[in-house]
Amino acid sequence: MHRFRYQGDVLFVEEVSTAVLAEKYGTPLYVYSAGTVLDHYDRLVASLRALDPLVCYAVKANSNLALLRLLAARGSGFDLVSGGELYRVLQAGGDPARCTFAGVGKTDREIEEALEAGIYSFIVESREELSAINRAAVRLRKKAPVALRVNPDVGARTHAKIKTGVAESKFGIPAEEIEEVYRELPRFSHLRLRGMQIHIGSQIRDVEPFAEAVGRVIPLVAMARDRFGAEFFDIGGGLGIAYEEALQSGDPGWWESKTGWATPARYAQRLLPLLSPLGLRTIVEPGRLLVGNAGILLTRVLYRKDGPSRKFVIVDAGMNDLIRPALYGSFHQIVPVIRRGGDPIEADVVGPVCESGDRFAESRRMPPVTAGDLLAIFSAGAYGFSMASQYNSRPRPAEVLVEGAKHRLIRRRESYEDLVRGEPGAEEEPGGPQGERTPKESHELANG
């Protein structure tokens, strides 16, 4: 399911040595496998083919233009949650007519930009939002396509911070209020109910929560189809990936050995009997599933430090580069780029940021390493760079895309000058700052 593996004692991505990439581009360094991204996309499309699927990649997972272009060329749509993500998709040549726009706090500007660009549908998360979109559509003299996001109150077995389908979350309209919303819809002259949507959370490894949520909402979806001519049912994203055994998951047989895991095939097998009778197009919004195991973060060991009670491996990547372990307490497999013999050690893998939470692993049993060695942090393709920051005034890392034997820089490493760009008194690049453009203007400029 991914294309990272050892050749001899050296970790390769597709046909390229990760040691070579680290030497050429420096560390910390995000490295992505194009073949893995496309393989995961193709598997998902094939598994749902009977439902006329529209796969809308969740841009928030990783918004690099090169990855967006890769998916757009394959026919992917995009799931957006901000005006900036719409801007990125248009810059990448994505088709706005294959984009959905979700999020609980859309601004008037974002709504207007999305209407002007011609998105496929808004995903409406509250009753007040219906009024806001209708007002914008009146101003622009357009008919706004909308879908209602239903909160089915289904508790997915995942981290509390990424559960989105439970009653206490901020997302969606409670299922018990939907019929009342249906009664209110006719008074919105410039709205068209195009579909219905659910999304119960992220990193879900069990198929049953998806089936439970779909089953609860199907009667409301059928009602939207019959009363308003709704065309689609968007069942969200959330399929989980491998973190604990990420390297091993590159073996296709590994997935089959995980009984009950929500692979695309098992997901489709469970949901097809529920969805097929609706006769509607199915939209899915994978993010992590497509890019999570397609990316690693390369980092170099700076020091070994043996304290009185713990041993530390100090690396040049920090929580500003990959915040998931600090934010969620998440596990990422960490392996040496070049395997060597020796007795294993047990150590915390930590970064240089001035926070005790700047830790990638705690009491991790791992091969022996010394200063200068390279490590690969797996499953870093989703919510890695997209959540990176300049905390501690640390420039964000570079990103590289590998396609077979070829590799290219898809984002340069930030400089110290980048840290202060835009602040009064900072030196600007020749020519001054570029004027701000709307997503539609940028799309028209990029496409002539």
Over residues 272-286, the pLDDT tens digits come to 999 999 999 999 999
- Would you place residue 254 in the very low, low, confident or very high pLDDT band (cuts 50, 70, 90)? confident
Query: Distance between CA 11 and CA 34 in Å, rounded?
Result: 17
User: 19-54: per-residue pLDDT in tens?
Assistant: 999 999 999 999 999 999 999 999 999 999 999 999
Taking CA atoms, 81 is separated from 64, 123, 285, 390, in Å, by 15, 9, 12, 22
Instruction: Flag whether pLDDT at 165 surpasses 70.
Output: no
Instruction: Flag whether pLDDT at 430 surpasses 70.
Output: no
- Does an H or E element contain 211, and which? helix 208-228
Taking CA atoms, 155 is separated from 43, 169, 259, 343, in Å, by 27, 11, 21, 43
- Single out the catalytic residue among 253, 259, 342, 354: 354
Q: For the chain, what is the total number of helices (H) and then of strands (E)?
A: 14, 21
- Do 264 and 378 share a domain, yes or no? no
User: Is residue 443 one of the residues assigned to a domain?
Assistant: no
Instruction: Flag whether pLDDT at 325 surpasses 90.
Output: yes
Specify whether 354 is catalytic.
yes
Domain count, the chain: 2
Percentage of residues of the chain with pLDDT beyond 90: 80
- Domain limits at 188? 35-286
Q: What mean pLDDT value characterizes the chain? A: 91
Which position has the higher pLDDT, 242 or 69? Answer: 69
User: Among 228, 261, 286, where does a domain finish?
Assistant: 286
Query: Distance between CA 12 and CA 381 in Å, rounded?
Result: 16
User: Is residue 13 one of the residues assigned to a domain?
Assistant: no
Which tokens in the block code for residue 394? 């640390």
Task: Classify 331 in phi/psi space as left (phi over 0), alpha (psi -120 to 50) or beta.
Answer: beta
User: Is residue 6 one of the residues assigned to a domain?
Assistant: no
- Do 52 and 100 share a domain, yes or no? yes
233: helix, strand or coil? strand
User: 88-135: per-residue pLDDT in tens?
Assistant: 999 999 999 999 999 999 999 999 999 999 999 999 999 999 999 999
Tokens 């997209």 belong to residue: 386
59: helix, strand or coil? helix
Residue among 76, 60, 69, 110 at smallest CA distance from 92: 69
User: 167-206: per-residue pLDDT in tens?
Assistant: 556 778 998 999 999 999 999 999 999 999 999 888 898 8
Average of per-residue pLDDT across 132-142: 98
> Would you call the peptide bond into 430 cis, given omega within 30 degrees of 0 as the criterion?
no
- Do 240 and 310 share a domain, yes or no? no
Taking CA atoms, 104 is separated from 21, 82, 99, 132, 176, in Å, by 40, 10, 17, 12, 19
Sign of CA dihedral 80, 86, 92, 98: positive
Instruction: Flag whether pLDDT at 313 surpasses 70.
Output: yes
